[in-house]
Amino acid sequence: MLNIARGIGAAVIVAMTVVPAFAQEKTVGYITKSATNAGWIMINQGAADAAKSEGVKLIEVGPTFAGDLTKQLEIFENLVGQHVDAIGIAPVDSSGIAPAVKDATSAGIPIVAIDTAVNGADVTSFVATDNVAVAKVQGAIAATLVSDGAAIIYVTGDKAQSTGQDRYNGFMSAFKAARPKSEILEVPTVWDSNQAQEGVEAIINQRKDIKMIVSAWDGGTMAAKSALQNLGYKAGEVKLVGFDGAADAVAAMDQGWVQANTAQMLYQMGYQGIKAAAAAARGQQVEKRIDTGFFLITPSTVDTYKAMIDIK
Amino acid sequence: MASNLGASAHGSSSRSLQDATVRLLAKFFKADWSGALLAILIISVAVELTTSGMSVFEPSNVMTILNNSAAIGVIAGGMTLVILTAGIDLSVGSVVGLCGALTGYLVSFWGFSPVEAILAGLGIGGVIGLIHGILIARFGMPAFIVTLAGLSIWRGAAHLSTGAKATPQLPEAFNWFGRLNPLEALRAAYQSGKLPAWLNGVSAFLDTNWVGYFRTFQMSMVIFIVFFVILSVIVSNTIYGRYVFAIGSSEAGARQAGINTVRYKLLTYVFCSLSAALGALLILGRAPYAKSDYGQGWELDAIAAVVIGGTSLFGGRGTIWGTFLGVILLKLINNGLTLAQLNTFWQMIVTGMIILIAVGLDLVRQSRSPESVRRFLAAVGAAMAFFTLLTPASLWLRAAVALHEHYSVTGLREGGAQLASSQSERLLSPAQLQALATQMGGSFWPTVACLLPLALSVVSIATKSRLVSFAVCAVFAVSAYAMATAGFSAAVPFLVLGAVAVAGSLLVLNAFERARKLHEIEA
């Protein structure tokens, strides 16, 4: 009797520990770069939807302001300490995040990099647009909008990050090949739209011969539009080319301000990223590099794009 | 007495000119804001010299700088009051975010009229200031902690209440706080011929010079200047202003003198948050939409502007116009470096260095010691010699580094390692290798030659010998000629500026002597 009781007791204890471990939901940590940028809101929506469809618990955290690397590192440590099953991260700084990634990988947690690559540490998967290739498309289409020799402005992103560098290099190589005689004035920013607006205003004010402003992200596109409005320009007098395909830039295209925009499939980036993280958490193989593709928005294709991402 | 008057008939006019100059200089340097003004002048001239085709001094550029300074300017103005009372307000950036986002939200999604939304935004700023003031002045909590907490709380509130989403473009009423040009209406009336005859002359002038002079005359800069005029009148002419200085100098002393320190400190924090709310409106007047992430990091810019303007962080000393100049200096740096198309990462370094120099200038000015002024000018000369050295040295270093990288990557490849794409970019073609070798050869001896003026100018900082300073001036002049002929004409402005600085250091002791005799400064 006692033996049977002991046996049943042992079986119950084993069942209580083992069964929940199997039935237990996987947790995936998701460290964003920004919670307030219009583009990032779409990415985060994709991530949330992926978590729901994969049946994993998503812990979404972001730094209190965009660009705060130390905060991201802290969040990383916290998530590792909580023993999450996988982490998806959009690094603020490609090299700065590498030590934390190495730590997490050695603790057995698969890491998926989203949107920005990690330099100096291996990740399970890198889910992003091929920023160089898309920026080259941006450069090519921008070149068709101006003649050779016309002066243009390029609003950069943070060139200390891989995203900023890739978009800059891709655009420059394609544009300079097509329009070698054009002068390109740069407005450097760290993805801050206020910096972009002030820089564009300062240059446009003095150079009356600027024909086009190209931005590395749509925060810059909207800032350039604002700068032009501040100086009394009308839509279409100076052409605008964007990157990201954010909703407000699409609206600006409808109003005639923006002539072309290379849209990242932002929702897909978040979706595929967390989907890969969930698969890795379950121990499945994931592809090392997932290219989420892009869409070239022009006034003729804008309706297709809107239908695709569900804007009215 | 009589012999003096008679004998110096010739010398007296030049003497009195000298004396007038010395008096003017003394008066200038005694003012708290002179450090910031000097830095602005120096930087404007420096940028002017290095940009081609885009001038800092063009009126429309000056006005663009003023327009962009407006928002951070009014915030720094409110911050000045707080710092004068020996307090601090770290939450201003977040208050900007909250008030701006809510104002935009109320007008776009809740059906408020622009006026109602603007009053609501300002009201929220006032309430926040009241909360800070009660906690700090009434309950005695440290200002640093309360406003640091505020930084998080108000930013979180901003994101939460608006869902962190941007509003659509705001109604035109908001342009009154930003991009509206008050002269626009006049010009439109002139162009459509609807003006009374006596205005025609002025309007014609306006029209022909519109793009160069009047296009950027916008409400942003008007509100900015009016705000500072009002603020400076309040600070220097009202009882409140006097009490602010008293509380900053010694709070205990002020209390014992019968001043209600609680009330006036509270009022100060209310002003500060109200200024932040006004700053938010000024942003909305120029921005494409309202969003809850505006103003991030602006508290540090505001404090920097206040300190550069000569206000002491310990309270009790400072001026409003100093803050005005401090804000303009910060924005001028951004504007100038953009116009100069300087490499992004160099911009970060140069910005920090300029801030250091501006504060250093102010410290030296305050020390009133001729030796420290002389040393400062000599140090400026040494810095100029250093930049001169950089002109050929950077070419040499860049070539040397590229060659070194090429050889180390080649070595890796020969050792059998797999190369990543960023590493194989460092491999060079034979033509490139040849070009780099030529570059190194051409810049090596000029680099070595530039070490001489640098060494001499460093020596002149340490020693009081006038001979050394003369020698430095002479060497700079000769080097300027040599560099120009050797093809490094970019270094010439540095050498000229350096020579002027070192020449100035020679005159410093005499100027101080004369100022003492004229009783402009104490002996």
Q: Which two tokens stand for residue B160?
A: 């939460």
Residues in CB range of A309: below 8 A, 6 or more apart: A42, A245, A267
Q: Which residue of B has its CA nearest to A166?
A: B422
When scoring A32, A33, A34, A36 by the number of chain B Cβ atoms within 10 A, the one with the most, hence best to mutate, is: A36
Give me the residues paired with residue A126 across strands.
A113, A289
Q: Is A211 helix (H, G, I), strand (E, B) or coil?
A: strand
Under 8 Å between Cβ of A30 and A2: no
Residues of B in contact with A205 (CB under 8 A): 60-61, 64, 216
Chain B interface with A: residues with Cβ < 8 Å: 53-55, 58, 60-61, 64-65, 67-68, 152, 155, 159, 164-166, 168, 178-179, 181, 211, 215-216, 218, 283, 286-289, 291-294, 296-297, 331, 334-335, 338-339, 341, 344-345, 347
Where does residue B258 rank: exposed (0-12), middle (13-18), buried (19+ CB within 10 A)? exposed
Q: Chain A contacts of B344, Cβ < 8 Å?
A: 156, 159, 186, 188
Q: Which of A95, A192, A205 is best to mutate for the B interface (most B CBs within 10 A)? A: A205
Residue A163 to chain B, least CA–CA distance (Å): 14
- pLDDT cut 90: percent of chain B above it: 34
Burial of B10 (0-12, 13-18, 19+ CB in 10 A): exposed
* B-interface mutation test, from A165, A201, A218, most B Cβ less than 10 A away: A201
Residues B109, B167: contact at Cβ < 8 Å? yes
The rounded mean pLDDT for chain B is: 85
DSSP A72-128: HHHHHHHHHHTT-SEEEE--SSTTTTHHHHHHHHHTT--EEEESS--SSS--SEEEE
Phi-psi region of A289 (alpha: psi -120 to 50; beta: other; left: phi over 0): beta
Helices (H), chain A: 2-23, 38-54, 69-81, 98-106, 131-145, 162-178, 193-206, 218-230, 247-254, 266-281, 302-309
> CATH says B26-181+216-352 is which class?
mainly alpha
What's residue A26's pLDDT? 87
Residues of A in contact with B331 (CB under 8 A): 198
Give the residue on B whose Cα is nearest the Cα of A35: B164
HEC string for B305-353: HHHHCCCCCCCCCCCHHHHHHHHHHHHHHHHHHHHCCCCHHHHHHHHHH
Average pLDDT over residues B53-70: 86
3-state secondary structure (DSSP) of residue A278: helix
Closest chain A residue to B162 measured between Cα atoms? Answer: A36
Size of interface A-B (CB pairs under 8 A): 95
Q: How far is CA B405 from CA B138, B419, B421, in A?
A: 63, 13, 14
Residue A65: its pLDDT value, please? Answer: 63
Q: The sheet that has A294-297: what strands, in order across it?
A: A184-187, A151-155, A210-215, A239-244, A258-264, A294-297
Q: Do A12 and A70 touch, CB atoms closer than 8 A?
A: no
Nearest to A226 among B286, B334, B341 (CB): B286
- Would you place residue B4 in the very low, low, confident or very high pLDDT band (cuts 50, 70, 90)? very low
Taking each helix axis from N to C end, the angle separating A302-309 and A247-254, rounded to the nearest 10 degrees, works out to 150
- Is residue A29 classed as helix, strand or coil in its secondary structure? strand
Under CATH, which number does the domain A27-128+266-292 receive? 3.40.50.2300
Residues in a beta bridge with A213:
A153, A240
More confident residue, B2 or B63: B63
More confident call, A94 vs B67: B67
- Whether residue B239 is predicted with pLDDT greater than 90 in this model: the reply is yes
Which residue among B53, B286, B291 sits closest to A36, beta carbon to beta carbon? B291
Within 8 A of B215 by CB-CB distance, chain A residues are 231-232
Please name every residue paired with A239 in a beta bridge, in sequence order, or none if there are none: A212
Measured in Å, how far apart are chain A's first and last C-alpha atoms?
A: 72
Cβ-defined contact of A230 to B293 (cutoff 8 Å): no
Chain B positions in Cβ-Cβ contact with residue A35 (cut-off 8 Å): 159, 164
pLDDT tens, position by position, B296-341: 889 999 998 998 888 888 888 889 999 999 999 889 888 888 887 8
For A114, the token pair is: 């989203």
Q: Which residues contact B6 (CB under 8 A, 6 or more apart)?
A: none
Identify which of A35, A38, A232 has the shortest CB distance to residue B166. A38
Residue B8 has pLDDT above 60, yes or no: no
CA–CA dist B90, B281 (Å, integer): 19
- Percent above pLDDT 70 for chain B: 94
pLDDT in tens, B383-430: 888 888 887 888 888 888 888 888 888 888 888 776 665 666 677 788
Mapped onto helix, strand or coil, the DSSP state of residue A242 is strand
- φ and ψ at B55, to 5 degrees? -100, 135
Cβ count near B410 (within 10 Å): 14
Helix-strand-coil percent breakdown of chain B, rounded to 5? 80, 0, 20
pLDDT of residue A14: 65
Chain A residues near any Cβ of chain B (below 8 Å): 35-38, 41, 64-66, 156, 159-160, 185-188, 194-195, 197-199, 201-203, 205-208, 222-223, 225-226, 229-232, 248, 251
pLDDT tens digits, B104-162: 999 998 989 999 999 999 999 999 999 999 999 999 999 999 999 999 999 999 989 98
User: Under 8 Å CB-to-CB from B36, ≥6 apart: which residues?
Assistant: B308, B309, B310, B322, B325, B326, B329, B358, B362
- Higher-pLDDT residue of A121 and B88 is B88
Answering whether pTM is above 0.90, one says no
Report mean pLDDT in 10-residue bins for chain A, 312 residues. 74 61 76 77 88 91 73 87 91 85 89 88 89 94 93 92 89 94 92 91 90 94 93 92 89 94 89 92 90 91 85 52
The CATH class of A131-264 is: alpha beta
Asked if B294 and A197 come within 8 Å (Cβ–Cβ), the reply is no
The residues spanned by each domain of chain B are 26-181+216-352, 371-412+422-517
Strand A57-61 with A27-31, pairing: parallel
Q: Where in chain A is the domain with CATH 3.40.50.2300?
A: 27-128+266-292, 131-264
CB contact under 8 A, A203 and B67: no
Q: Which residue has the higher pLDDT, B507 or A223?
A: A223
To 10 degrees, what angle do helices B34-50 and B9-30 make? 100
pLDDT-derived band at B10 (thresholds 50, 70, 90) equals very low
Check if the interface score ipTM surpasses 0.90: no
